[in-house]
Amino acid sequence: MSAAMPPAMDPAAAGEMAREAAAWCSLHGLVVGDRADQRSATVPGVGLVHAPFSLLPAHFPESFWRQACELAPVFNELVDRVSMDGNFLQNALSKTRQVDDFTSRLLEIHRKMMEINKEENIRLGLHRSDYMLDSETSSLLQIELNTISASFPGLGSLVSDLHRSLIKQYGTSLSLEHKRVPANAASTQFSEALAQAWSEFNIDSAVIMMIVQPEERNMYDQYWLSKHLQDSHGITTIRKTLSQVEAEGQVLPDGTLLVGGQKVAVVYFRAGYAPNDYPSEAEWSARLMMEQSSAVKCPSISYHLVGTKKIQQELAKPNVLERFLKSEEIDKVRKCFAGLWSLDDEYIIKTAVEKPELFVLKPQREGGGNNIYGLDLRETLVRLQKEGGDALAAYILMQRIFPKASPAYLVRGGVCHEGLAISELGIYGAYLRNKDKVVINEQCGYLMRTKVSSSDEGGVAAGFAVLDSLYLTGKVMFQSIDLFTHHFCLDR
């Protein structure tokens, strides 16, 4: 995927624009907590800095933009259908659970819900499917599908406004048109979906509970959703950590979830996706308690499991999608699948050890900073093979995608840096079903993240990338990569 391709600017002009942009961020709430201030992660309004951003939007071919948007409702349906096949989830993750305690605990909660035949009449999913443009195959390829805590609908929406504002001010000299930056309503559309789920629950006095980490420098992204819910729908949002839910929560005999004496209609997880979120049994107890309740879970434990790397790899196997989708939907989805392999294939391990630059080794972990590349990938595979047992089951291998790098201006901490960068497009989707009635199934905004091309990881919150938006073009431009042979890339 091409990053922003700005006209040449002298450092003074870029610096002036960066200062204007940073001021805009402060005035419009495009902010995060300052890592230099310890209280910024716990006390709202303390230690604010502008979110890291790209000074100009990333160029992106409109045809691939439309393809990604059209895929969102299909992936929404896929998540829901796979989530209802409990045996498929348990079987597909059976080896992973033996070597990954975190996945094992999630599966145990899921198994308990299967045993009591727990019904989830109202099912809400707020997802994000992430893509890159691969220069070798000239195609849009999926990186991963996030079904829990899909971040940045709040701040990501604002970056589009920032870029349109900058182009209106400087566009003549930059030869850019602000109308080519697509509107991004992710923040309001996520809020609308949460509000509609609350409405389907149909208890006016109930609240929406957002599950958050004890320390959260990205709290303002979350507060934008709470603001929309209050201003547009009069719905109160409460913020609780998993440990607070365990201490303050209870499930009444009729299934009602009470936390701090308040009835909870919807549980919206912005935490709970990583082992660090469960430092003690209290957090696991809270997760089980919420799952046992009648509250709408976003996501439910089954939706959460569908988003695991192993399920992504299982769905890429021949004849698996046929269990869940129609033929015309299957063609659309398969077209965006990158090569994905389990590590029970000795040939693919041998190939990856010989050519580690062609692969990414992915453990079952969410958030940036977990993937393994290059020589580290080779060393990890060799070590795991020597150790034997089922250790390899904790990982999947993925085809490495080679996007085109382009010059960009990245702004972090008030300083503008110019360099070669690549970008990743995330498409948000909202899905809401009440029994057999699909209430919402739509694409709802996007997230663009840009990083220097020398960085393997891509998380904004993890410090690797900056927030960006799109500048739609009619051209598809790719850079040839000699490392990856076309026949191997498509062999899966």
Check residue 460 and give its pLDDT: 65
Single out the residue in 351, 381, 400 at which a domain terminates: 400
Mark whether 71 and 208 lie in a shared domain: yes
Q: What CATH code is carried by the domain that includes residue 384?
A: 3.30.1490.50
Return the SS3 of 128: strand
In-domain check, residue 432: yes
> Which residues in the chain show pLDDT less than 50?
1-4, 477-492
In-domain check, residue 34: yes
In-domain check, residue 4: no
Residue type, 438: V
Mark whether 361 and 405 lie in a shared domain: no
C-alpha distance from residue 210 to each of 161, 264, 441 (Å): 26, 10, 22
Tokens of 416: 């503008």
- Annotated binding-site members for Mg(2+): 144, 146, 366
Each residue of 363-420: pLDDT tens digit? 877 656 678 999 999 999 999 888 877 788 888 899 999 999 999 999 999 999 998 9
DSSP of 146-181: E-S----HHHHHHHHHHHHHHHHHHHHHHT--GGGS
Annotated active-site positions, please?
Answer: 128, 144, 146, 151, 309, 362, 366-367, 449
- From the list 490, 431, 488, 372, the residue with the least C-alpha distance to 190 is 431
Nearest 5°: phi and psi at 35? -60, -20
Check residue 370 and give its pLDDT: 79
In-domain check, residue 82: yes
Mark whether 369 and 475 lie in a shared domain: no
Mark whether 330 and 352 lie in a shared domain: no
In-domain check, residue 3: no
Nearest-angstrom CA–CA distance, 408 and 193: 34
DSSP of 380-430: HHHHHHHH-TTGGGGEEEEEPP-PPPEEEEEEETTEEEEEEEEEEEEEEEE
Mark whether 277 and 346 lie in a shared domain: no
In-domain check, residue 2: no
Mark whether 79 and 181 lie in a shared domain: yes
- Annotated binding-site members: 128, 144, 146, 148-151, 216-218, 222, 270-273, 309, 362-371, 373, 398-401, 424, 449, 451, 457, 460-461
Mark whether 330 and 454 lie in a shared domain: yes
Check residue 482 and give its pLDDT: 29
Mark whether 197 and 284 lie in a shared domain: yes
End-to-end CA distance of the chain: 22
In-domain check, residue 349: yes
Mark whether 290 and 410 lie in a shared domain: yes
Single out the residue in 400, 424, 441 at which a domain terminates: 400
Nearest-angstrom CA–CA distance, 429 and 150: 10
pTM over 0.75: yes
- Annotated binding-site members for ATP: 144, 309, 362-371, 373, 398-401, 424, 451, 457
Each residue of 115-167: pLDDT tens digit? 999 999 999 999 999 999 999 889 999 999 999 999 999 999 999 999 999 99
Residue numbers of the domain that contains 350: 339-400
In-domain check, residue 269: yes
Domain count of the fold of the chain: 2
Check residue 463 and give its pLDDT: 56
Mark whether 116 and 25 lie in a shared domain: yes
Mark whether 246 and 186 lie in a shared domain: yes
Mark whether 333 and 367 lie in a shared domain: no
Each residue of 235-262: pLDDT tens digit? 999 999 999 999 999 999 999 999 999 9
